[in-house]
């Protein structure tokens, strides 16, 4: 007996899941193949997608430029980071499954570049001798030493010289004693000039270059006279230079470098300087070193110098003590004034409290650097507003006296900082329940006892973390000190560049960027010490403030 089976009707879910082309002959039916959806097919070319495509394309273009530039400078770490970042950006922003990463990736990249990299590079630099005279490789140091001691070679031939240019690059085209045309630039030793035309013993044309006339040479004479073209790849062969733009002369260094022995010999005195890899310098037998060296790893030497070098230890300790005084004094003064004003204006009996509160936050609304510069002008001894108007023509040296300069920076910081403390104290006071004060009054507590036993403990519950962060901020408050006094007045008795009002961060700035002997490695070492000091004090303070949590 034949039994006919009627297929069950497809459920609404199955009908919905099938597309219109899933029937016979369609891509999903028996008559046609059905393959997986591709990435291109999954995208909808909407306006948003096109905008995303353009933005990611711009990021890729900048990234590729950075990759090429890094490769040219042989910065392989930067190159690897850029390649990885480009891959992550393209995968994340063209994937439908990485929605959370689309919000995290930009911030993560900026965090790595502006925080992690900076901290890591600072830490690495602190363990090197990086600074003036030690800022490159040993090969660059040798080249610089040979250049510094160059002198014209006696009885050397005179080379008829033409100044040529290709774009912005200058070059020398000369004719040697054999009549051959040579071409060279600052980074290109002299070599035969292909396609050069020589007339009257002088090069008049070079393929791909423009020969400068007298007026053009005069217009760029500072560049022409400072330019040196290596005679060959060997730095001991000297260089070709000109003093008039028409004749070239051979200059050779009085120093001779022996690459195999790793020594530099001063031919005028016979002194031999041997490469010392532990110091990154060429050092003679008597301990004298050449001024130009190279960057090397020195371990904890920079940290040890801060504590053992007499020229640094005294100024460092003095600056450290004043930094603590400045940071603590700033917190105490700003918090004290802010709290006093907050309590005063929190009293309902004071009329116009809204107006007063608006006026008191005005210093907080102005840019801090602008306020510091205004205060600097007001505190000027000769024509400042404070001396001339408020003090009737007095000549008080607010910015040039060691003690008054410290008073000045504390005053300026008080002006800039009390509105912030006023705001947070006002908010904290208004969050204290009135029932607490009612209970205190019922117990017979006087106003001072209520302030000491009720207001301050409850106030510190919310303000203690802010006071700790304020201390950390003022410990590194570069702007107020530098814009007001520049760390001065300078202590002329100190062996280093340090002033009476310098705090650690301005002291570090002067070591790294002030004067003629910039010591980046030492500055980074002191920066790490600053971080350790602030981190330790903050950690201890936060642990102490946990006791206040029980009051809340």
pLDDT in tens, 372-390: 999 999 999 999 999 999 9
Alpha-carbon distance of 110 to 32, in angstroms, equals 49
DSSP secondary structure code for residue 157 in this structure: P
pLDDT confidence of residue 418: 94
Report whether pLDDT(89) > 60. yes
pLDDT at 548: 62
* CA 394 to each of CA 205, 378, 403, 408, 484: distance values in angstroms, whole numbers, following the listed order: 73, 13, 17, 16, 20
Residue pair 487/481 in contact (Cβ under 8 Å)? The answer is yes
Cβ–Cβ under 8 Å, residues 277 and 456: no
For residue 15, what are the CA distances in angstroms to 21, 292, 377, 453?
Answer: 12, 81, 81, 74
Q: Above pLDDT 70, what percent of the chain?
A: 91
Q: What residues have CB less than 8 Å from 486, skipping those under 6 apart?
A: 499, 506
Neighbours of 180 (CB within 10 A): 12
Owner of token pair 């801060």: 306
Q: Give pLDDT tens digits for 213-254.
A: 999 999 999 999 989 999 998 888 889 999 888 999 999 888
More confident call, 515 vs 14: 515
CB 361 within 8 A of CB 497: no
- Direct distance between the N- and C-terminal alpha carbons of the chain, in angstroms, rounded to an integer: 87
Q: What pLDDT does 3 receive?
A: 46
- Per-residue tokens: 309: 């070098």
Under 8 Å between Cβ of 92 and 102? yes
Using pLDDT thresholds of 50, 70 and 90, give the confidence band for residue 483. Answer: very high
Coil, helix or strand for 307?
A: helix
**The pair of three-digit structure tokens given for residue 263, joined into one six-digit string:** 């020594």
- The better pLDDT of the pair 334, 47 is held by 334
Give 3-state DSSP helix, strand, coil % of the chain, rounded to 5: 55, 15, 35
Compute the mean pLDDT over every residue in the chain, rounded to the nearest whole number: 87
CA distance 227 to 184: 11
Poorest-pLDDT segment among 34-43, 126-135, 503-512: 34-43
User: Is pLDDT at 172 greater than 80 in this prediction?
Assistant: yes
For the chain, the farthest-separated pair of C-alpha atoms sits apart, in whole angstroms, at: 126
Confidence at residue 437, expressed as pLDDT on a 0 to 100 scale? 82
Name the burial class of residue 25, with classes exposed (0-12), middle (13-18) and buried (19+) by CB atoms within 10 angstroms of its CB: exposed
Q: Residue 496 has what pLDDT?
A: 86
Could you confirm whether domain 308-550 is CATH 1.10.3720.10? yes
pLDDT band at 5, cuts 50/70/90? very low
Lowest mean pLDDT among 183-197, 417-431, 438-452, 526-540: 438-452
User: 3-class SS at 149?
Assistant: coil
Name the band, by pLDDT with cuts 50, 70 and 90, for residue 495: confident
Tell me how far apart the alpha carbons of residues 280 and 294 are, in angstroms, rounded to a whole number: 5
pLDDT at 551: 55
User: How far apart are the C-alpha atoms of 336 and 100, rounded to whole Å?
Assistant: 45
Domain 151-274: give its CATH superfamily.
D-maltodextrin-binding protein, MBP (2.40.430.10)
- Residue 443 is predicted with a pLDDT of 83
β strands within 212-283, DSSP E: 229-230, 239-242, 247-253, 255-258, 263-266, 272-276, 281-283
- Provide the whole-model pTM: 0.78
The encoded tokens of residue 65 equal: 């430029």
> Cα(242)–Cα(255) distance, rounded to whole angstroms?
21
Q: What is the pLDDT of residue 44?
A: 62
Query: What is the per-residue pLDDT across 403-434, written as a single tens digit (0 to 9) for each?
Result: 999 999 999 999 999 999 999 999 999 888 88
Q: What is the pLDDT of residue 416?
A: 94
Q: What gap in Å lies between CA 283 and CA 274, rounded to an integer?
A: 5
pLDDT at res. 150: 84
- How much is the pLDDT for 457? 87
Which DSSP letter does residue 194 get?
T
Q: Is the pLDDT of residue 47 over 90?
A: no
% residues pLDDT > 90 (the chain) = 57
128 has pLDDT over 60: yes
Dist. CA 65–CA 339, nearest whole Å: 54
Tens of pLDDT, residue by residue over 439-473, are 888 888 888 888 888 888 888 888 988 999 999 99
Res. 21: pLDDT tops 50: no
Residue 41 has pLDDT above 80, yes or no: no
Confidence of residue 42 (pLDDT cuts 50, 70, 90): low
Place of tokens 């908010």: 427
Three-state SS annotation for 343-368: HHHCCCCCCCHHHHHHHHCHHHHCCH
d(CA 22, CA 19): 5
Condensed to tens digits (0 to 9), the pLDDT of residues 265-309 reads: 998 889 999 999 999 999 999 999 998 999 999 999 999 999 898
CA 328 to chain centre: 27
- Which residue has better confidence, 57 or 20? 57
pLDDT band at 491 (very low <50, low <70, confident <90, very high): confident
Question: What pLDDT is attached to residue 1?
Answer: 44
Give residue 552's pLDDT: 54
pLDDT mean over 314-322? 94
Q: Which residues, 6 or more positions from 494, have their beta carbon under 8 angstroms from its beta carbon?
A: 314, 315
Does position 331 have pLDDT exceeding 60, yes or no?
yes
The structural domains of the chain, with segments of one domain joined by +, span 50-126, 151-274, 308-550
């Amino acid at each position: 007996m034949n039994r006919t089976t009627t297929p069950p009707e497809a459920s609404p879910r199955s009908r919905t899941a099938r597309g219109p082309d899933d029937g016979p002959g369609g891509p999903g039916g028996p008559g046609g193949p059905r393959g997986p959806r591709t990435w291109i097919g999954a995208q909808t070319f909407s306006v948003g997608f096109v905008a995303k495509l353009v933005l990611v394309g711009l990021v890729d273009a900048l990234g590729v430029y950075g990759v090429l530039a890094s490769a040219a400078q042989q910065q392989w770490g930067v190159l690897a980071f850029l390649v990885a970042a480009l891959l992550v950006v393209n995968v994340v922003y063209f994937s439908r499954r990485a929605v959370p990463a689309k919000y995290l990736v930009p911030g993560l990249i900026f965090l790595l570049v502006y925080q992690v990299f900076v901290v890591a590079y600072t830490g690495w630099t602190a363990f090197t001798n990086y600074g003036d005279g030690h800022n490159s490789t040993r090969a660059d140091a040798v080249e610089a030493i040979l250049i510094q001691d160059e002198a014209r070679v006696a009885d050397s031939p005179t080379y008829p010289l033409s100044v040529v240019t290709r774009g912005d690059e200058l070059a020398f085209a000369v004719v040697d004693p054999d009549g051959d045309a040579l071409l060279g630039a600052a980074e290109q030793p002299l070599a035969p000039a292909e396609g050069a035309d020589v007339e009257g013993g002088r090069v008049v044309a070079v393929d791909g270059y423009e020969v400068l006339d007298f007026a053009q040479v005069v217009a760029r004479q500072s560049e022409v006279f400072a330019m040196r073209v290596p005679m060959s790849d060997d730095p001991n062969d000297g260089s070709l230079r000109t003093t008039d733009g028409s004749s070239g002369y051979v200059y050779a260094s009085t120093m001779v470098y022996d690459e195999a022995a790793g020594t530099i010999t001063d031919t005028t005195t016979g002194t031999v300087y041997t490469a010392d890899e532990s110091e990154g310098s060429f050092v003679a037998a008597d301990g004298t070193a050449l001024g130009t060296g190279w960057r090397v790893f020195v371990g904890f030497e920079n940290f040890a110098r801060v504590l053992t070098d007499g020229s640094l230890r005294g100024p460092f300790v003095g600056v450290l003590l004043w930094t603590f005084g400045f940071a603590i004094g700033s917190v105490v003064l700003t918090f004290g004034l802010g709290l006093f004003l907050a309590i005063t204006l929190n009293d309902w009996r004071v009329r116009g409290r809204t107006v007063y509160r608006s006026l008191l936050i005005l210093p907080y609304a102005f840019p801090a650097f602008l306020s510091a510069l205004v205060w600097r002008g007001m505190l000027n001894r000769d024509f400042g507003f404070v001396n001339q108007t408020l003090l009737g023509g007095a000549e008080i040296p607010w910015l040039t006296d060691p003690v008054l300069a410290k008073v000045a920076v504390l005053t300026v910081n008080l002006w800039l900082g009390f509105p912030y403390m006023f705001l947070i104290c006002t908010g904290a006071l208004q969050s204290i329940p009135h029932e607490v004060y009612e209970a205190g009054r019922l117990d017979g507590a006087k106003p001072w006892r209520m302030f000491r036993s009720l207001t301050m403990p409850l106030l510190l519950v919310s303000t203690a973390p802010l006071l700790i962060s304020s201390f950390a901020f003022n410990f590194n408050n570069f702007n107020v000190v530098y814009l007001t006094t520049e760390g001065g007045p300078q202590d002329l008795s100190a062996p280093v560049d340090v002033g009476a009002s310098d705090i650690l961060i301005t002291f570090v700035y002067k070591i790294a960027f002030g004067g003629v002997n910039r010591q980046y490695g030492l500055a980074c070492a002191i920066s790490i010490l600053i971080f350790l000091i602030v981190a330790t004090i903050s950690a201890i303070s936060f642990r102490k403030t946990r006791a206040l949590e029980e009051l809340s």
